[in-house]
Structure 1
Amino acid sequence: MISEADRLDKAKKDAQKKAKEGDLKALDSSYGSDQAALKEMFLNGDIKREEDYHERMLELELDYLQSRKRLLIQYGEDTAKVEDQIVDKRII
């Protein structure tokens, strides 16, 4: 039989997991929309040079990765993978 404390603990963990998943999904969706907008700007000629497009796309990706790292920290998750991705992007 599950004690009341165990039940409450499980409910809290489930709520945190759902919140984390929702926050990450919202971040991913926003990032995808921002990428699409940049691509459209490049195709429409609002961004003239391909180099500028790539620089802005890199900035967008780094911002996304930093935001993802902050969310993972907020939820007490491991950030090693995203930190490696940030370093890899900065080397390029």
Structure 2
Amino acid sequence: MNISFPSCAPEYCAPDLALQFPALVDDRLVECSITAEALEDHFGARSSREEDLVDAFIAHRAEIVLAAQRLLNEVGGKPVILHSGYFRFCN
């Protein structure tokens, strides 16, 4: 499975309190997201405000996309949500 991540900015999803970002899995777009809780707990987001979440995402993009890539491999390229608990157990 070939997985890559376009360098576009993440999108804030207020109802889910999460940031969404795309992955290309074998040339098809797959939605990935990371929760505000994960960004606050593991990547230093100061709050669940959009600006704070985006700042934390940008500062830790490499770690976040690596985690998304691992999870995409585990689930066969289906959409993934990175929750705080994932980072507690994957590190």
* Interval containing the TM-score (normalised by the shorter chain): under 0.3
When normalised by structure 2's length, the TM-score is: 0.28
Larger strand percent: 2
Larger radius of gyration: 1
Larger helix percent: 1
When normalised by structure 1's length, the TM-score is: 0.27
